[in-house]
Amino acid sequence: MTHRTICNAAFAVLLLASGTSAIHAQNYHHVRQVCHDVRVQDRPRDNHRIAGTAIGAVAGGLLGHQVGGGKGKTLATVGGAVAGGYVGNRVQKNNQDNHAGYHIERRCHDVHR
């Protein structure tokens, strides 16, 4: 028997005698928790900005209806409603972003050493 074989056998006997498996001994890690305070924006009441979209669509549709005649009037009304809905959505988003409230949250995660 070689010296390495004798050492491995002795180590196996010691592990069995102590009740600790070799897998457990190899996978033992120290873990510590790290926490940070993070500034988080509060969610607005109308997160999907439905009010701004609806008001913009109605206003855009009314303005589009003033243009053209016949089928062109219908297309202008629909186009104005779509464009107005988009603009109304963006206006409400900017307003919400400018008047947003914030709070602090403590977030933690584990770090393995």
- pLDDT tens digits for range 6-51: 756 666 665 556 554 445 445 556 889 999 999 998 888 887 889 9
Q: Count CA atoms within 13 Å of residue 92 on its CB side.
A: 20
pLDDT of residue 37: 96
Which backbone phi and psi does 94 adopt, to 5 degrees?
Answer: -60, -40
Cα–Cα dist 31/10, whole Å: 30
Contact criterion met (CB below 8 Å) for 89 and 49: yes
pLDDT of residue 106: 95
Residue type, 45: R
58: left (phi over 0), alpha (psi -120 to 50) or beta: alpha
Both tokens assigned to 47: 């997160």
Q: Count CA atoms within 13 Å of residue 49 on its CB side.
A: 17
pLDDT of residue 22: 47
Instruction: Compute and round to an integer the Cα radius of gyration of the chain.
Output: 34
pLDDT of residue 10: 63
pLDDT of residue 29: 65
Other C-beta atoms closer than 10 Å to the C-beta of 95 total 13
Q: What is the pLDDT of residues 42-99, one digit of tens each?
A: 888 887 889 999 999 999 999 999 987 888 889 999 999 999 999 999 999 999 988 8
